[in-house]
Amino acid sequence: MSTTNTENPTLTKLLDAAEEQMLSCGYVAASIDGICTAAGVTKGSFFHYFKSKEELGKVLLERFGNRQQERFMDACTGIADPLERVYKVIETAIQSCQSPDMKGCLIGTFAQEISETHPELREICKCSFEGFATGMGADLTAAKELYAKGASFDAASLGAYFLSVIQGSMLLMRTNGDGEAMALNLEHFREYLRSLYGR
Amino acid sequence: MSTTNTENPTLTKLLDAAEEQMLSCGYVAASIDGICTAAGVTKGSFFHYFKSKEELGKVLLERFGNRQQERFMDACTGIADPLERVYKVIETAIQSCQSPDMKGCLIGTFAQEISETHPELREICKCSFEGFATGMGADLTAAKELYAKGASFDAASLGAYFLSVIQGSMLLMRTNGDGEAMALNLEHFREYLRSLYGR
DNA sequence: ACTGTCATACCGACCGGTAGGTAGGTGGCC
DNA sequence: GGCCACCTACCTACCGGTCGGTATGACAGT
């Protein structure tokens, strides 16, 4: 039942298969049997690593959240200016949404499906969302101090606004198939920031 | 098997119960048994009106889409100016997202869950989304001609952007519970329009 | 070096429950 | 009498989860 992963190949296969299935079909529709088949592993093995489907969900959510955070951390290490850091994050998002291996956001997928039925999973989604939104909000508040001191807009809520644009765009992507619209949306958001902070 | 509704009480109860369950738990997790129990009707009766769960989904999606369209139509009949019409829609959205009987968007919920597994349902979601986005886009394009003729922004894509903000905000609402953040997001969007079209 | 012990990793048959869906009615109304 | 709305009873498949078992390998005692 040890779920801490130090390159355990079976566990990794299980997690990867589960992530893929849940990203495309959602948490409920992804069955444990299906995940095991995709991972080339039996059900007994699954329950050796996870005590329930919900626990798999937690681990998956945590892993996805950490990876995403890492990604954005990597993108803007070394950038001191908060506004530049935000622009860098937007640019990173624009680039990654156009790559074909962009399968969507597990946190958004889960949030939609299980918020009423699995409070613990919802809580993890909420924390991930809040972490991202408040992080961006902090940078944007600091940037306001630097570049738009007297202006009347609420910088802190821009983080959640940005997150909404991302999640909404990804939702629309599911019916459209392509990520082109998402790139346009992110550009609109960037343009909004420019109008607030000056160019 | 006639699904056309001219005030059929049983059918209406079935549809209402299904909509409520699917809005809160999603399409997959909402069971036919559960819907029938909530509607106070037996399963035989359900299959008298719908030949499958997927057909229920179609009818539900159609009904929800039409209602939503009606709602926004009503909100801005008589307003000739396209930009004012858009602002009116935004205001309507801000108001309705703060009311407690705001349960979310069925189309967004479905789009997330079934886009990979039920192509016909996905198509309906896509059409609803596109209808809304291009409708708003048309008004915003017309408004650009009137108020921001020379400007360089892409007015047509603002419709999809608006829709993304709405859908993303609703997704975040599911983890937060309250619609306050959504109102803030819509105000940010309105502010963006003001920056593009002048005040 | 050999052997017994024990934990870990993994297997696959099996369980009860519930899912979507079907069949065959019953009763009321034109 | 026949149609329509609706009900009861039932079917099969599959769901999440359990359980008894096996293969492997590290380690200890002799």
Per-residue pLDDT tens for B53-89? Answer: 999 999 999 999 999 999 988 988 889 999 999 999 9
For residue A160 the two structure tokens come to 């959640």
CA distance A8 to chain B (A): 30
Neighbours of A179 (CB within 10 A): 20
For residue B112 the two structure tokens come to 């997330």
Which residues of chain B does A116 touch, with a Cβ-Cβ cutoff of 8 Å? 24-25, 174
Residue B124 Cβ < 7 Å to strand D: no
Between CA A175 and CA B185 the distance in angstroms is 23
Query: What integer pLDDT is reported at residue A45 of this predicted model?
Result: 96
| Helical H segments across chain A, by residue range | 9-25, 32-39, 43-49, 53-76, 82-98, 106-114, 119-147, 158-176, 180-197
DSSP state of A117: T
* pLDDT beyond 60 at A2: no
Q: How far is the CA of B43 from the C1' of C1 (A)?
A: 72
User: Measuring CA to CA, which residue among B10, B161, B98 is closest to residue A169?
Assistant: B161
Per-residue pLDDT tens for A126-138? Answer: 999 999 999 999 9
Between CA A35 and CA A32 the distance in angstroms is 5
Residue A2 Cβ < 7 Å to strand C: yes
Query: What integer pLDDT is reported at residue B7 of this predicted model?
Result: 74
Residue of chain A nearest B29, judged by CA positions: A28
User: Measuring CA to CA, which residue among B190, B192, B26, B195 is closest to residue B93?
Assistant: B190
Query: What integer pLDDT is reported at residue B122 of this predicted model?
Result: 97
Average pLDDT, chain B: 94
| CA distances to A3, A140, B28, B81 from A172, in Å | 34, 26, 19, 28
Between CA A35 and CA A89 the distance in angstroms is 33
Q: How far is the CA of A14 from the C1' of C4 (A)?
A: 35
Nucleotide nearest to A14 (CA to C1'): C10
